Amino acid sequence: MKLLDKIHICGVDYKVVYETESWLDAAQAWGLADFSKQVITIDARCGKNRQRLTLLHEIIEVINNNQEMGLEHRTISALEAALFQVLEDNKLWRK
């Protein structure tokens, strides 16, 4: 399942790729944002909601990096969970 192929964040187009590579397991991650290559990688083996959570997390990571906010990872994870709940409960996700 692919949520989208690209996303525009802070004036930059990021390619969104879905992989099943073992490096994601080694990194203990469901996703990764590569700021220099403008690529967000999502683990394709995850279910729809986990992919949405991961994409939201990586969007926040990009904003954090771009705006030099200095947010800690736990803060980014908290924002991800809270924003996901708002989007989900208010049916703001596209079907």
3-state DSSP call for residue 37?
coil
**What b/e string do you get for 64-76 counting C-beta neighbours within 10 Å, with b at 16 or more?**
beeeeeebeeeeb
pTM of this prediction?
A: 0.90
pLDDT digits (tens, 9 = 90+) for 46-74: 899 999 999 999 999 999 999 999 999 99
What the block records as the tokens of 17 is 């790729």
Whether 33 and 62 have beta carbons less than 8 Å apart is answered as yes
Residue 95 predicted with pLDDT over 60 = no
How many Cβ atoms from other residues are within 10 Å of residue 4's Cβ? 10
Q: What are the structural domains of the chain?
A: 6-89 (3.30.2010)
Classify strands 6-9 and 12-19 as parallel, antiparallel or unpaired.
antiparallel
pLDDT digits (tens, 9 = 90+) for 5-49: 999 999 999 999 999 877 777 777 899 999 999 999 999 998 999
